[in-house]
Structure 1
Amino acid sequence: MGDANAATERWAFAMSAKEKWAPKVRSDVKGIIETGRKYDRIYFLTSRPVKAKRCHDIEKELTDKYGVPVTILDREWLIEKTIENGFEDLAYKDLGAGTYEPEKELVGPNDFRRNQELEEIEERIKKLGDERSDQTQLVSDTYEAARLSRNLERPRFETEGRYHRAINVANKSGSHDQVLRANYEYCWAMFWFHDDVEPMNRMYEEVENLALSSGTAADLSKVGNYLSVMSSHAAQNFETAEHLKLDERRARMADQLTAMSQNASQPNNALHAETLLVLMRLHDEGSRNDPEALESIWGNLDEIVGRSEGLAEFPISLIDDIVERISSMSPESEALDRLTETLAEFMGQREQDGKAGEIYLRRGLGKAKNEMPIDAIYWLGKASIRFRKDEYTEEQFNTLYYIAVAYRSAGLLWAARSTCLSALVNANKISSKNAETKIETIPTVSLLGMLSVQLGRTSDLILCMFWLMGLLQTLPLAKESKAHLEERITELDRLHACFIAGLPNSSIPVLSGLPDILDALGMYQSEFILLYRLGWGEKLVEMELIPEGTEVSEVADMTSLLAAQPARSSMPKALGLNQGHAFQAQTTIIGVEINFHGGDTLDDVLLCQTCLTAVESFMATAFRHQVFPRVERLDVFISLQIDLEEVSIELDESSSRITVMWPQVQSVLNSQAVMVAQPHLLELCALVLSAISMMPETEKSLDQMVTQEEVLERALSFSFAHFALERVMGTNASSLDDFEHLREKSYPPIYPLPDVVPQSSKQGGISQSNEWAGSNEVPDEFETPQSHKAIKSCSIINLPLWDKAGWQGVLYAHNGAEDQQPPMLGLVLSDRDAATGIFKEWNKKFGRKDVDDQIRISIIRGVKAEQEHHYRVHISRSIENGLGQENPGSRIYNVSRIHNMEPESSENLEMFLEQFNKFGMFFLIPVVVSESASMPDLLIEHSILCRNLHVRYAYEIGQHDPDSVVIKDGDNIVQPDEV
């Protein structure tokens, strides 16, 4: 016992294996005292686990009552002293416990390796401390030690002791999957390695309840395994069916599986449960060898194989294993022949898909490593379709993670978010199956957190921070890995602080309950900036958030600096909130700004998110098909309609607006409505493509997108992100109200709220360049853009309106005295509605004065040497003033219109130019002409005061000049010496 007085003292010992050990220790101690012998100590050993407090209380009770120190030693002590200290031989020699003949053990190479592993694990267990990460490691190590002991066929008392230790540690510090694993494997090991069914019989209900609590057929199948082996045990008369409670347990299992099989909201799990029901019948009928019953079972399994098509998570290997094992039972069965043939074709296709997926994955990773995200999405998207089956979960996780990274690099953040969530679903499946957290979960959650910040979704970020903090505290990470994770958490906090700093004042009050939540998560930078934005700057010193003596002006400067960080430019200007707030989100696809607008209910928000994600996924690889933007902006308005029966999607090209009306009965909250929703999502995607783009050979390009790229599957497979969010986070839409328990108080805004001016604006703003794009060297061929934000559509030409308007030419006029008003340049159009539509759109965009010179009009003279008075008019959006504001290397698309003017003289033009040079500006107006009117109708009420007029000669225009599109190959240009 390690006591120096042991040699001079008399000790008494009592032992018990009874489950009710407390009455036994009291009676034994009383009996020892009543012998009249003078004992210095009394030791009581029990094979049962004893809680420390209960042990201490009874020891004190008996010691006080009899005046002799009483020590109770429980099962854990016995295991520790016998197994962990390596005294198994003493237990056998002196106590006759088990068998122990190490000299007869023949150790092969595998067992030698296992012994080494076991020794290393036991040494590591001794060194583990009380920190949460150590306890997490202990759960894994104690289970692995038990598993190795079992496989090494160590003596039963040794293996059983290790399993009991693993169960106790899992109950204390493990996850649900780890508790289930330890209990299940213990009973399994005792049955198969020691031919003892009693642990399984005794712990059946405990394991059953653990399996049921997860709600998955996969866990319940473990209980089904128990039933199978116990039934076989009874069938061989080793135990009675009554002792093993087979009838009631089998009936209960059938009821549980039936309930699962009827849950249509989880189709994979439901079909798995239905399969287990059929296999229960197979076990029963197989023992009776009833040919007709077996034929029915083979038919049922054949039907299940067919129905599993499209259910990616259904474990088809379960049926494959069964057919392989029992095919000899019905050698003449036609139904089994059909099942075998169906299964062979089905498994062959899955295996072929797996091989193809590996090839696509390799190619996609090569593209990703070479910073080609658009091409990576193409190849990885094809791989993800092949890896959807349950047996490729590991490969699918890797593929989805890299697709999410590629989507993010391509500027498609909603598609990235959805795919990242799907990757986490697979990570959780792997973790649950192995009962160990997949370490790659860390970078995936970190990526989701980054996307949440970039999308302005603070509530999603809070969920990610909870998860990351939990992983940091519980996972046994190496020192370097732990430091890296801490750095990532700090970086997310810093980025979120930038987001808060750049929000408009109107978005701040709704966050008044957030500071305590940020504080609880250690997001101190975000907390500090938010409190300043809420007007609490004067109280930051009092709250010990900034050093004493710090001026509020310093806090203001810091906030302005954060708001001007480059990272802030990739974040939205408003919060991304869920129910209770109308949905507003913006994305950029092939350089076109697309704005999604929706309602404020949860159904509305999730529908908008689904539509937006599908559109981004569908359009992701459009650059591979020479797609060009044709509008600057598109608005998509989505609304749920109570009385509507069918989805309605309409495009108004003249206003660049899509209206989606969706029936309430087809809510995307209902998983059964997913299949119904898919065709409508594809219709929306196709309509967005036609509304914002032009492409050569449209039909051919679309056919390639659908067939070669499998864009439909890629767009729809992961668009319903709320289902994935519910599986990994427990909610289909996060809300700040979910964290109410962390909120000690609210911080109401103190008005007036401080204004935040980004620091760069204070320093003079962004310089502008008047340098022509044509002055730089430009390659003959452009590479495919690798981000949808790497290009910008700058068109002011609404193509449907201009096509309808019928541009006839230009007209020069005056309104009032020539020396008092600038001249008028009229665009002569033949359709009044289209003409007013064009100018109303410009009035709304630029106002009645084009102060930023966005409308650019060029008059190109000298285009035909043989016709000196002819010229061309070119209307486009100015890109010179905005050139310096674009990202380096970005590509600008500018749709323009050109008209040939063929006057007999230049008198009108010269008069206009004379007046323009005098005033430096002109009125741009729509002019309507029609066959029924004798005179043009000048619509002066729609005029715009402009000054961005360029009068040039054709010979001045270079190859990459904005006006280069005006010059045609056959033009006989007037040379400089002829002007």
Structure 2
Amino acid sequence: MRQKRPYLFSDTEIDQSTAFPRASFEYHLETLTARKQEYEFEDFCRKLAEKELCPNLTIQTGPTGGGDGKTDAETYPVAAEIAERWWVGNPSAGRERWAFAFSAKKDWKPKLKSDVKKIGGTGREYDLVYFITNQFAAEKDKAKLQDQLSEEYPFRVVILDRSWIVAKVYENGHLGMAISALAIEGAQSDTIQKFGPRDAARSAELTELDRQTSDPERYVGARFQLASDCFRSAILARGLERPQAEVEARFEQAIRIADELGTTSQAMRLRYHYAWTAFWWFEDLPKFLKLYDEVEDRLAGTEQSSEAKHLHTLYSLTVASISNGRLKPESVNIAEKRRALVAILEPLAKNEARPNNALEAKTYLTLIKTHDAMHQDATDALDECWTDFSEILKASEILGSYPVDLLESVLGELGSVVDSPAFDNLFAELTDVIGQRRSHGAAGQANIKRAFQKLELENPYEAIRWFGRAEELLLKREYREELTEALLGSASAYGIVGLRWAARNRALVALDHAMMDFREDGDIDWLAWIAVKQLAWAELRLGRVPQALATLMLAKFILAALQPEGEIADQVEEDLISIEVAFGLLLLNLDVGQLGAISQLHDSFEEYDLVIPGMATLFTLGQHQALIEEGYCPEGQTEKDLNDFLQNWINVPGGDQMPSETMLLDQAEVEFQSNVLGCNIRVKSHTDPVSVGIAETILGSLESLMATSDESHVLPHKEKFRIVVLPDGEPDSIPSHRLVEDKGASYIEISHSPDFHQDSADKMQRYRDWLQELVVEIVCRFAIVRDIEGWMSKIAVNRPGIAGGHLV
């Protein structure tokens, strides 16, 4: 691993030739009393205990022990919020009372009994007593005395001898501290000759992370991020090649917090990385197998192939270890491990509703078959595997989110041991696919650049076209970030020209792509904040209170994970205030008939610390006194002061961009609208999620299509057009539509199944075909289309315009 991925390991060069020998250190411990170093030994024991057992120690006695406190050191109480941030020792030391006794006497057993008796006689409610001696203690003697004393006194007794001291000092990197505390003349620890650049960056980041995670006020309401940051500290410590005990303690701290939080996917990922570390860094196969089992347990029922890949990696390492003799076959039931992995992957591979996810699962299943065939040296079976991989590659050509880099990595590794014409043909196909995807990526990035230039030149409609070209080319997993940037740029362009449904849909798709890393790896990027901010503004400009509130709740979660600081934090705060002010304007614009529905909103605003919308709710409800009582306004404010403040709020710059109607979606039906080429399109829908989703899709698709159409081909002849969405379709059917004549006017009625889901590739495609047909028919109902064939051909070329409004 170090040869293949050197960047994961420490690049610091250390000269160990001058390090203080272990045998010399043991001799120094043996002869402490001859040099009258009892005080130095107590100081050393306390420092070692702080690093290995608990950091919350206070000194209780004098230099040679036995003072009035009866203990050499003991723990002091620490708040749970602080203790849980320790990666050293056990957080229970923060709430329990532990006592410590240190002894440098050669005859340590009488000293042990004497010290424990004194501690027991204090009447203090100790939970645990540690006795640390510089002498060797036989395991049999230790076990007997520990059991005997633990029964005799109301606390548990643990004996730590010279073997424990020496092991902790040398294995966990405490030699420098020991030399200093024990004043060992002429001795030195490892000498760093050259601090590598990677380690310099890691060390700085780890120091900052430790500062952040030790702050009990930093992660209030953001425990997911606390677990993530603790995990990051473990990865940094691993990269610095810190002692095994430290790296493991940091991993276990992260896992403990994730388990308490109850996020199964995060807890699984942390265990996977811990297992990978145990295997490659510490060669600790028993711990690796234990963690393998824990990962397997937490993946039962997963719907994500990107999560199942972790188990496949651990399975592959286990198979390889059995083959090369590192693991004995009887130490693990590899057949059962294979069965469990296949049982997870097969349902994913059969789920046609998620073709990218299914194809990734098929890849792992084929890799398992490949492992089997190579182990059995079955040439025909291997050729079948190469054929399966070839079919997977062909299928991936139309699936942008499939991880082709997975095949590139796997087949690249196999190429070092496989030499056959069938494999050569497969590898040639792989290089062709890679070349095409990289070519598309480069072209897509060039289109993004041109699109932003068009925005700067104040030509948003042209920008929309260029962004659309980029999106089509960047529908590849490896260009996820670039695709998100294109979608965000497109959302901005749509917003500039007032196509609010198209802007909203693009921002929502951008947010979905920006959060994919979070769903797969638990990481959140700043693009997610930009996307959720754009979505919040889009929902506010559409006047939709429930959707705006849900978006702001997600924004709070994203910001809790990102933990902005300095100037960035100031800018984020400014953005949030602007959004909240706009949200408040929606609430101030409510009709009298809507007031009863918002009384419960105030509690939600308080829960998520949305101060300005909370204030607007009280204003709207006329509860001016509550504004003062709840601290929104200073005491002494008069009714006139409040009314002046309200008027200034209503007249805030930019307020004229907010919609005239506020939607609470609290009734059985709702009506959405959009102006397309001067025609007011109104969609009346039930407020169930499926009906609302179809209505959003229709309006977004109409706006997207007409934004990229040649207006010279389309002449609107109606000022208004109506669409009705009804949840009365046949079960498990694709939505359908019909033209309805009503008193000389016509409208389109859409019927859909109440529980409509796009749960297969076929259903997805039929829904898209129906959507395109519907949108074209709607345009033809409110406008005259010149040269219908020419316009239709442009629609075919511009199909992303329709697909862009459709959220899969």
Q: What TM-score bracket applies, with the shorter chain setting the length?
A: 0.7 to 0.9
Is 1:662 equivalent to 2:702 in the alignment? no
| Alignment counterpart, residue 383 of structure 2, candidates 289, 295, 299 | 295
| Deviations, residues 127-173 of structure 1 (Å, cap 9, x unaligned) | 43222359888766654554455445556556555555665676678
Aligned to 1:650: 739
Q: Is the 8 A contact 2:546 2:665 kept in 1?
A: no
Q: Residue 648 and residue 356 in structure 1: after superposition, are their counterparts in 2 closer, same or farther (change >3 A)?
A: same
Query: CA offsets, 1:942-973, max 9 Å, x none?
Result: xxxxxxxxxxxxxxxxxxxxxxxxxxxxxxxx
Q: How far has the Cα of 1:251 moved from its partner?
A: 1.6
Residues 119 and 333 of structure 1: is their aligned pair in 2 closer, same or farther, counting only changes over 3 Å? Answer: closer
Q: CA separation in 2, counterparts of 1:38 and 1:527?
A: 58
- The answer on 1:251 being equivalent to 2:339 is yes
Q: Report the TM-score when normalising by structure 1.
A: 0.62
1:92 to 1:229, Cα distance in 2 relative to 1, 3 A: farther
Query: Over alpha carbons, which structure has the higher Rg?
Result: 1
Matches within 5 A, 1:632-651: 632-642=719-729, 647-650=736-739
Deviations along 1:230-269, one digit per CA (max 9) or x if unpaired, are: 1111122222222133222222111111233334443322
Q: Which aligned pairs between 1:316-331 and structure 2 lie closer than 5 A? A: 316-327=404-415, 331=419
Aligned mate of 2:796, from 706, 718, 727: 706
Residue 205 of structure 1: CA displacement?
2.0
Q: How far is 1:289 from its partner? A: 1.4
Alignment partner of 1:407 is 2:494: yes
Residue 119 of structure 1 pairs with residue 208 of structure 2: no
Aligned-partner Cα distance in 2 for 1:530–1:13: 61
1:185 alignment partner in structure 2? 273
Give 1:8 shift: 9.7
- Give the one of 414, 430, 451 matched to 2:538: 451
Distance 1:48 1:483 in 2: 34
Where does residue 130 of structure 1 map in the other structure?
Answer: 216
Residue 114 of structure 1 deviates from its aligned partner by 1.9
User: Paired residue for 1:593?
Assistant: 680
Q: Which amino acid letter does the alignment assign opposite residue 705 of structure 2? A: F
Q: After superposition, where does 1:556-571 map in structure 2 within 5 Å?
A: 558-559=645-646, 562-563=649-650, 567-571=654-658
User: SS in structure 1 opposite 2:515?
Assistant: helix
String of CA shifts for 1:459-493, please: whole Å, max 9, x gaps.
12222222333344453322222222222222122
In 2, the alpha carbon distance for the partners of 1:718 and 1:78 equals 66
Which residue of structure 1 lines up, in the alignment, with residue 709 of structure 2?
622
Moved more, 148-157 or 391-400: 148-157
Aligned partner letter, 1:457: R
3-state SS of paired residue (2:683): strand
Tell me what 2:79 maps to: none
How much does 1:691 deviate? 3.4
**By how many angstroms is 1:391 displaced?**
1.2
- The CA deviation at 1:706 is 2.8
In the other structure, the counterpart of 1:377 is 464
1:326 Cα deviation from its structure 2 partner: 2.1
Cα 1:48–1:401 change in 2 (3 A) is: closer
Does the alignment pair 1:423 with 2:510? yes
- Which has the higher mean CA deviation after the structures are superposed, 443-452 or 631-640? 631-640
User: Which whole-Å deviations, capped at 9, do the CAs of 1:330-353 have from their partners, x for residues lacking one?
Assistant: 54454x455445434433332222
Segment of structure 1 superposing worse, 379-388 or 486-495: 486-495
Measure, in 1, the Cα distance between the counterparts of 2:520 and 2:228: 14
Contact 1:579 1:602 in 2 (8 A): no
Structure 2 counterpart of 1:396, from 464, 483, 491: 483
Contact 1:373 1:410 in 2 (8 A): yes
What is the CA-CA distance between 1:357 and the residue it aligns to? 0.8
1:603 corresponds in structure 2 to 690
Residue 695 to residue 106, structure 1, CA distance change in 2 (3 Å): farther
Letter in 2 for 1:584: E
Aligned to 1:742: none
The Cα shift of 1:296 comes to: 2.4
- The CA distance in 2 between the partners of 1:264 and 1:227, in whole Å, is 26
User: CA offsets per residue over residues 540-573 of structure 1, 9 Å max, x none?
Assistant: 5555544555455664565556556564444444
Deviation at 1:210, TM superposition (A): 4.3
1:498–1:565 CA contact under 8 A, matched in 2: no
Residue 314 of structure 1 is matched in structure 2 by: 402
Q: 1:675 and 2:761 equivalent? A: no
Question: Helix, strand or coil: the match of 1:393?
Answer: helix
- 1:963 alignment partner in structure 2: none
Name the CA distance, whole Å, in 2 between partners of 1:560 and 1:173. Answer: 45
1:181 offset after TM fit, Å? 4.6
Question: 2: CA distance between counterparts of 1:43 and 1:558?
Answer: 61
Would the aligned equivalents of 1:12 and 1:42 in 2 still touch at CA under 8 Å? no
Native 8 Å contact 2:172 2:246 kept in 1: no
Alpha-carbon distance change, 577 to 242 in structure 1, aligned in 2, over 3 angstroms: farther
Contact 1:649 1:684 in 2 (8 A): no
Equivalent residues in 2 for 1:342-361, closer than 5 Å = 342-361=429-448
Kindly, what percent of the aligned residue pairs are identical? 22
1:423–1:302 Cα change, 3 Å: same
State the secondary structure of the residue aligned to 2:487: helix
* 1:7 equivalenced with 2:39 (yes/no): yes
Give me the TM-score of the superposition, normalised by structure 2. 0.74
Question: 1:19-34 maps to which residues of 2 (within 5 A)?
Answer: none
Code of the aligned partner of 1:186: Y
Q: CA RMSD in A?
A: 4.4
- After TM superposition, the structure 1 stretch with the greater mean CA deviation from structure 2, 217-226 or 303-312, is 303-312
What does residue 842 of structure 1 align with?
none
Which residue identity is paired with 2:377?
N
1:781 maps to none
Q: CA deviation at 1:44?
A: 11
Q: Deviations over 1:373-421 (max 9, x none)?
A: 2111100111111111111111111111111111211211222222212
Report matched runs for 1:890-929 at 5 Å. none
Tell me the residue number matched to 1:208.
296
Whether the 8 Å CA contact 1:133–1:475 is kept in 2: the answer is no
Distance 1:651 1:679, change over 3 A: farther
Q: Secondary structure at the residue paired with 2:449?
A: helix
Q: In structure 2, do the counterparts of structure 1 residues 38 and 594 end up closer, same or farther at CA, with 3 Å as the change threshold? A: closer
CA offsets 1:734-793 (integer angstroms, 9 cap, x no match): xxxxxxxxxxxxxxxxxxxxxxxxxxxxxxxxxxxxxxxxxxxxxxxxxxxxxxxxxxxx
Helix, strand or coil: the match of 1:583? strand
> 3-state SS of the aligned residue for 2:579?
helix
Q: 1:113 Cα deviation (Å)?
A: 0.5
Deviates more, 1:59-68 or 1:361-370: 59-68
How far apart are 1:364 and its partner, in Å? 0.8
Deviation of 1:49 after TM superposition, in Å, equals 4.3
1:223 to 288, 311, 317: 311
Please give the per-residue CA displacement for 1:621-643, whole angstroms capped at 9, x wherever unaligned. Answer: 23565655433222222334335
Q: Is the 8 A contact 1:184 1:222 kept in 2?
A: yes
1:266 aligned residue: 354
2:781 maps to which residue? Answer: 691
- In the TM superposition, 1:459-470 aligns within 5 A as 459-470=546-557
Q: Note if contact 1:10-1:38 (Cα within 8 Å) is conserved in structure 2.
A: no
* Residue 51 (structure 1) aligned with residue 91 (structure 2): yes
Q: Where does 1:69-108 land on structure 2 (aligned, <5 Å)?
A: 72=130, 87-89=174-176, 102-103=190-191, 107=194
**Count of aligned residue pairs for this structure pair:** 686
Tell me how far 1:283 sits from its aligned partner. 1.1
Q: Secondary structure at the match of 1:56?
A: coil
Structure that is richer in helix per residue = 2
Query: Residue 346 and residue 119 in structure 1: after superposition, are their counterparts in 2 closer, same or farther (change >3 A)?
Result: closer
Q: Out of 525-534 and 389-398, give the one that drifted further.
A: 525-534
Amino acid in the other structure paired with 1:7: Y
Tell me if 1:242 matches 2:326: no
SS in 1 for 2:325: coil
User: 1:143 touches 1:166 (CA, 8 Å); kept in 2?
Assistant: yes
State the 1:613 CA deviation.
1.8
Residues 628 and 634, structure 2, Cα contact 8 Å, conserved in 1: yes
Q: Is the Cα contact below 8 Å between 1:630 and 1:692 reproduced in 2?
A: yes
1:43/1:504 CA distance change after superposition, 3 Å: closer
- Whether 1:510 aligns to 2:597 is yes
- Any idea what the Cα deviations from partners look like across 1:665-705, whole Å, max 9, x if unmatched? 89356565332111121122212333344566553344234
Q: 1:372/1:430 Cα in 2 relative to 1: closer, same or farther (>3 Å)?
A: farther
